Structure 1
Amino acid sequence: MSQYSKTTSLMRRGTDFLGTDYAILCGAMSWVSERTLVSAISNAGGFGVIACGAMTPELLDNEIAETKKLTAKPFGVNLITMHPQLFDLIEVCARHGVSHVVLAGGIPPKGSVDAIKAFGAKVIVFAPTLALAKKLLRGGGDALVIEGMEAGGHIGPVSTSVLAQEFLPELAEDHVVFVAGGIGRGQAIAGYLEMGAAGVQLGTRFACAAESIAHANFKKAFFRANARDAVSSVQVDARLPVIPVRALKNKGTEEFTAKQREVAAILDSGAIEMGEAQLQIEHYWAGALRRAVVDGDVENGSLMAGQSVGMLKEEEPVADIIAKLMTQSEAALARR
């Protein structure tokens, strides 16, 4: 690792926190961040994260067990805070002695952070505003991910560069903060590390790795895409708050607009509550993602991708991706 001495020095707090060689996390991507990719990233010195998504406790139990067969290195589990069986999923993580749990998708419900910390795991949280970040860190969060709108999947309204300038001067001295969203090259990693980040998170960069189980059609769509092809979904009804999702534009993005109208009408009729309406939206995304990632239906499925997708041109092994990112970062720091 001495060949990356400047980068690893700036990553020290992140690597100590994660127990890894490099403070490079893989963002949790449903159907993509499973045992094969997660273990490959951890084995290559990064930090893989299982995307639990809409999994049942039984499915998560099996996924963790299978991942542990493929790597002895640390990895995490990403749990969606609105999952109706969140506490059962936390119990599964406890049984397996998972070292890090990422809580995403909203404010963690009461007792969830304590339940995770009770079995000794570290809690990683997301926050779209500085005030909420401080609250979550005071409430037991051990590390924070700030993710800009350039990211793929569910996104907030502010760019990564602005979030980094706002959050890092306030938090980086006392807290472990990872930066995510639109990162595709090591030069950007070097910049955020110099600003005080303890490490970074990338999703899109790993989605088309050789070890990714994503369908060949899915990967080809990424290789053909430009940054401007990764667009944010539109909310059609203010009464149904839907977190925007960034994906490659196709028929599936148009179908989501129709799905929102359908769910909003059911909500208006009083047949379902708001929580159920939002869950229906999440289930739609889970199904649409599966069609693209697993079945290869890149016309009707969801091609969730960040704007860094334009930098992807070929399938590469995870170890090569991480080595390339570290080499680029080290070269950038050496030029300072």
Structure 2
Amino acid sequence: MTSYPKTDALMARGRDFLGTDHAILCGAMSWVSERNLVSAISNAGGFGVIACGAMTPELLDAEIAATKAMTDKPFGVNLITMHPQLFDLIKVCGRHGVGHVVLAGGIPPKGSVEAIKAFDAKVIVFAPTLALAKKLLRSGADALVIEGMEAGGHIGPVSTSVLAQEFLPELAEDYVVFVAGGIGRGEAIAGYLEMGASGVQLGTRFACATESIAHPDFKKAFFRAKARDAEASVQVDPRLPVIPVRALKNKGTDAFTAKQREVAGILDTGSIEMLEAQLQIEHYWAGALRRAVIDGDVENGSLMAGQSVGMVTQEEPAADIIAALMRQCEDALARR
């Protein structure tokens, strides 16, 4: 087995936390991060994460069971905090003995962290500000992902490099912190590890892995794309707090702008509450993603991708991707 002594030493805390050979998480990508890709990443020494997205508890139950049949290595489950059946989904994770649950998409609702920790699972959260990160960690979260606006899918307004400089000096000594957003090579991983990160999370880099079930046309769109092609969506109505989404520009991007106007119009009538309006937006994304990922409709579907998409040029097994990242990181550290 290849040895990465310098990288392993800097990843030690993250590796222990995840129970993996390498502190490399795969970001949860709806329709992509399912049993095949998740198990492949975990079997290769990384940490796969099931993207629950809009799944029902029954679907999540089946997905976890299928993943466990394909790997005996640790993997996690990503749950969206605004999911109307969040606590039922948490119970499903508990029944399967899931060791790590990622809460994404907003501040964890009251009681959710406690419900996860009740079955001895670790809770991983996201935070857009240092103050919120400290609050969540003090309130029981076990680890934090800081994700910059270079990432694909739902994003915040600040770049990864700035977040790392702000968060890591304050938190890395006492907490497990993973850095995400725009990471495509091991040299970048080396830099964040040296700043104090316990590990990293990548999504776009794994989207076109051999084991990814994404449609061949979806993967070809990634291979053709450059960093500048992955654009952030525009918020149409300031009253509708839509989290920006980074995706490859196509007709689907324009359709989302129209969808925002439609939902804002319904909001004007008073016939729906704000939470329902936000859920409509989330359901739109789930459907648009499926059209691109599963059906291969790369014109009208959503091609969520981070700015590291320009570094995705071919299909590769997940194990080869992880090995390349680790080798690049180790070589960079050795040159220091």
What amino acid is aligned across from residue 230 of structure 1 in structure 2?
A: A
2:110 aligns with 110
The Cα offsets for residues 211-245 of structure 1, whole Å up to 9 and x where unpaired, read as 00000000000000000000000000001010000
What amino acid is aligned across from residue 222 of structure 2 in structure 1?
A: F
2:141 aligns with 141
1:191 deviation in Å? 0.3
Task: Give structure 1 stretches of 5+ with no counterpart.
Answer: none
2:74 aligns with 74
The Cα offsets for residues 171-211 of structure 1, whole Å up to 9 and x where unpaired, read as 00000000000000000000000000000000000000000
SS of residue in 1 equivalent to 2:38: helix
After TM superposition, the structure 1 stretch with the greater mean CA deviation from structure 2, 150-159 or 1-10, is: 1-10
Q: Within 2, Cα distance between the matches of 1:61 and 1:120?
A: 18
SS of residue in 2 equivalent to 1:320: helix
1:3 deviation in Å? 2.1
Q: Within 2, Cα distance between the matches of 1:139 and 1:147?
A: 20
Q: Within 2, Cα distance between the matches of 1:8 and 1:42?
A: 17
Q: Does 1:277 align with 2:277?
A: yes
The Cα offsets for residues 50-93 of structure 1, whole Å up to 9 and x where unpaired, read as 00000000000000000000000000000000000000000000
SS of residue in 2 equivalent to 1:3: coil
Q: Within 2, Cα distance between the matches of 1:33 and 1:3?
A: 28
Q: Within 1, Cα distance between the matches of 2:313 and 2:101?
A: 32
1:100 deviation in Å? 0.1
Q: Within 2, Cα distance between the matches of 1:102 and 1:241?
A: 22
2:236 aligns with 236
1:304 aligns with 304
**Superposition RMSD in Å:** 0.5
Q: Within 2, Cα distance between the matches of 1:283 and 1:169?
A: 38
2:11 aligns with 11
SS of residue in 2 equivalent to 1:134: helix
The Cα offsets for residues 103-147 of structure 1, whole Å up to 9 and x where unpaired, read as 000000000000000000000000000000000000100000000
What amino acid is aligned across from residue 20 of structure 1 in structure 2?
A: T
1:180 aligns with 180
1:45 aligns with 45
1:263 aligns with 263
2:332 aligns with 332
SS of residue in 2 equivalent to 1:302: coil
1:309 deviation in Å? 0.1
What amino acid is aligned across from residue 208 of structure 1 in structure 2?
A: C
Q: Within 1, Cα distance between the matches of 2:54 and 2:88?
A: 13
SS of residue in 2 equivalent to 1:11: helix
Q: Within 1, Cα distance between the matches of 2:4 and 2:193?
A: 13
2:206 aligns with 206
Q: Within 2, Cα distance between the matches of 1:302 and 1:8?
A: 36
1:21 aligns with 21
Q: Within 2, Cα distance between the matches of 1:141 and 1:2?
A: 33
What amino acid is aligned across from residue 184 of structure 1 in structure 2?
A: G
Q: Within 2, Cα distance between the matches of 1:311 and 1:54?
A: 29
1:95-174, aligned counterparts within 5 Å?
Answer: 95-174=95-174
Task: Give structure 2 stretches of 5+ with no counterpart.
Answer: none
SS of residue in 2 equivalent to 1:332: helix
Q: Within 1, Cα distance between the matches of 2:234 and 2:91?
A: 36
Q: Within 1, Cα distance between the matches of 2:204 and 2:8?
A: 23
Q: Within 2, Cα distance between the matches of 1:60 and 1:2?
A: 35
Q: Does 1:248 align with 2:236?
A: no
Q: Within 2, Cα distance between the matches of 1:72 and 1:128?
A: 33
Q: Within 1, Cα distance between the matches of 2:307 and 2:235?
A: 20
2:318 aligns with 318
What TM-score do you get using the length of structure 1 for normalisation? 1.00
What TM-score do you get using the length of structure 2 for normalisation? 1.00
SS of residue in 1 equivalent to 2:263: helix
2:287 aligns with 287
Identity of aligned residues (%): 86
1:2 deviation in Å? 6.0
